[in-house]
Amino acid sequence: MVGAQARASSSLRRAAARAFSSSTSPFFRGIHVFKCPDVVGIVAKLSECIASKGGNIHCVDVFVPENKQIFYSRSEFSFDPSRWPRDVLESDFQRLAKHFSAERSTVRVPDLDPRYKIAVLASKQDHCLVDLLHRWQDQRLPVDINCIISNHPRAPNTHVIRFLERHGIPFHCLPTAPGKKGEEEILKLVEDTDFLVLARYMQILSGGFLQAYGKDIINIHHGLLPSFKGGNPSRQAFEAGVKLIGATSHFVTEELDAGPIIEQMVERVSHKDNLTSFVMKSENLEKQCLSQAIKSYCELRVLPYESRKTVVF
């Protein structure tokens, strides 16, 4: 099937599944994240809003930093859409956001709202891309994949290309050269996405691109930032004789490998490891770390915090 048809069909399937199963339970799950200047009464007001519409709160994370008057919260609740329709849900929270001059107020109902649409950028290294695609196929990655963009060609008989064809996901090969990053074309191809994932994409995206795209870009760095920035961190780590190696997923900013960190993972290494096993352990970590970051992001768990950090609920 062609990609768009496949996605429409998938969305329809999901809503139908929900509708048929909902005769037992009319409740949908909602997630609300909120960021505003801190004052007394925010939690009371948010929870009263949910309760007044018959919503049942299952989970709340609230965080106010020690030394700043900023309020962060994330709530999960179940609600009956016949009692609290989706558009009313939206406007109720918007009213609260206005009341508290919120910098951010996002409500999401995963089973009703369209999935996040992403594009994945990759270079020659396959492992992160393949792992993402498999998790997506196993429905463990709650996104729609618009397309794959790569500066490295892949022949039609490769696993990746055959997989993408089966699922109707376009593969765009945009070879880069010094002075020719192809960013204009990339911008066009990713116009209709909610965020981007760099799955070992080895080109640096310019400040101009970041500004023009304007939305979040998640990268996986195969090292424990800020150690080993730049190229071949496994080799750098191997030669430094460290006893722990890691991977870091983070938001992309203009500065290379320096954006706010979302997740980090480590594994032990010793003299028994050679460069090959360093790389292998690192690749394992990258796959886990990147998919964990995407999952957290889609579940609205990741919020920017100060200029270089994140709150991850």
Q: Binding its own copies by CB under 8 A: which of 38, 226, 230, 255? A: 226
Choice between 161 and 312, CB closer to its own copies: 312
Residues 287 to 306 in contact with its own copies, rule: CB under 8 A: 305-306
- For residue 209, give the nearest of 174, 160, 166 by alpha carbon: 174
Answer for which of 80, 242, 284, 299 binds its own copies (CB under 8 A) is 242
261 near its own copies, judged by CB under 8 A: yes
Minimum distance of its own copies from residue 283's CB (angstroms): 19
Dihedral (C-alpha) 35, 38, 39, 41: value to the nearest 10 degrees? 40
Ramachandran region, residue 253 (left: φ > 0; alpha: ψ -120 to 50; beta: rest): beta
**In this chain, which of 224, 252, 279, 290 binds its own copies, going by CB under 8 A?**
224
Q: How far is the CB of 228 from its own copies (least distance, A)?
A: 7
Q: Does 73 interact with its own copies (rule: CB under 8 A)?
A: no
Q: Is the CB of 112 or the CB of 242 nearer to its own copies?
A: 242
**Position among 57, 60, 63, 216 found at the interface with its own copies (CB under 8 A):** 63
Please tell me the distance from the alpha carbon of residue 61 to that of residue 97, in angstroms, as a whole number: 17
Minimal distance, residue 11 CB to its own copies, in Å: 34
- Binding its own copies (rule: CB under 8 A), the pick from 260, 282, 300, 301 is 260
Q: Is 30 in the site for its own copies (CB under 8 A)?
A: no
When asked if residue 247 is in the footprint of its own copies (CB under 8 A), the reply is no
Q: Biggest alpha carbon distance in the chain?
A: 62
Interface residue with its own copies, options 73, 75, 234, 264 (CB under 8 A): 264
Q: Note whether 255 binds its own copies by CB under 8 A.
A: no
Residue span binding its own copies (CB under 8 A) among the ranges 13-21, 23-31, 159-167, 222-230: 222-230
Residue 69 makes contact with its own copies by CB under 8 A: no
235 binds its own copies, rule: CB under 8 A? no
| Interaction pattern, residues 85-104, with its own copies; x per rule: CB under 8 A | --------------------
Site stretch for its own copies (CB under 8 A), options 43-51, 126-134, 140-148, 262-270: 262-270
Indicate if 257 belongs to the active site.
yes
* Whole-angstrom distance, CA of residue 15 vs CA of residue 271: 53
Alpha-carbon span 61 to 296, nearest angstrom? 14
Residue environment code for 261-275, b if the CB has 16+ CB neighbours within 10 A, otherwise e: bbbbbeeebeeebee
Positive or negative torsion for Cα 177, 179, 184, 186: positive
The catalytic residue among 92, 131, 194, 257 is 257
Hey, what's the torsion of the CAs at 71, 76, 80, 86, to 10 degrees?
60
C-alpha to C-alpha distance for 158 and 164, rounded to whole angstroms: 10
Q: How do 244-251 and 217-221 pair as beta strands? A: antiparallel
Contact positions vs its own copies (CB under 8 A): 63, 65-67, 224-228, 239-244, 246, 260-264, 266, 270-272, 274, 305-306, 308-312
Active site residues: 257
